[in-house]
Amino acid sequence: MAGNFDRAGLGRSESEGSGGYSAKNSEGYVGKYQFGDTRLADYMKSTGVSFTKEEFRGNPVLQERVQAWHEQDILDYAIDNGLDRYFGGRIAGVSITPASLIGMGHIGGKSGMKQFVESGGEYNPSDSNGTSLSDYGMKFAGDTNVVEESLRPRSRPMVSDAGIAGLVDQVRGGMKASPVQEPMLRPRARPVVPGRSAEMVAPDVRATRTAIERLGDMG
């Protein structure tokens, strides 16, 4: 499962009460996760696997495989387009996480998800059931504790470059990303003369002060 996405929840939202894996709606979307012709064609082109829509509809294992690919493909697209710099922020009430991007990418397509993020939430269309991109973004964002922030893209990432690279690697690998902590910056200890201990330096300081005082007396 890519990121920390609630795939079971998506299945319930898309097809519960409508047949599950065998579901088919009036617009021609099929299966537990309601895929259309275009997205199934994307999968077949990407993997070289061929099947008909009815074969897909009758094969739960294939549906799960396509859904896993679909989630990862959305995340790869988001990262390739620099949307990972929004992770940890909030746009139009949506916590921007890998999971929320998957949710919005599922209902509105990859380009629709990108438009939502880059427009600061102004691009927020709804499907024929009245469900908007932000609805799915909030529904699948996951348990986050983010603070409301500017909708503008950050000029610098929230964490170090190494931290972002680690996050991207974990997301691409289909793992739940762990929080990245910056190393604490501690003040450096005063330098010690090479080959001499701190205890040896202290008497030298006292001797220097004594010499200065004597010069003052002589003046």
CATH for 129: 1.10.530
**Residue 11 lies in domain:** 7-172
- The reported pLDDT for the residue numbered 16 is 81
180 within a domain of the structure (yes/no):
no
> CA 56, CA 52: separation in Å to the nearest integer?
6
Residue 201's identity, in one-letter code, is V
Q: Indicate the number of domains in the chain.
A: 1
194 within a domain of the structure (yes/no):
no
209 within a domain of the structure (yes/no):
no
- What digits encode the pLDDT tens for the residues 71-95? 999 999 999 999 999 999 999 999 9
Longest dimension (CA), the chain: 106
Burial class of residue 147 (count of CB atoms within 10 Å of its CB; 0-12, 13-18, 19+): exposed
- What digits encode the pLDDT tens for the residues 152-168? 333 333 333 444 344 44
217 within a domain of the structure (yes/no):
no
Q: Which residue has the higher pLDDT, 5 or 153?
A: 5
200 within a domain of the structure (yes/no):
no
pTM over 0.75: no
11 within a domain of the structure (yes/no):
yes
- The reported pLDDT for the residue numbered 8 is 93
- What digits encode the pLDDT tens for the residues 89-115? 999 999 999 999 999 999 999 999 999
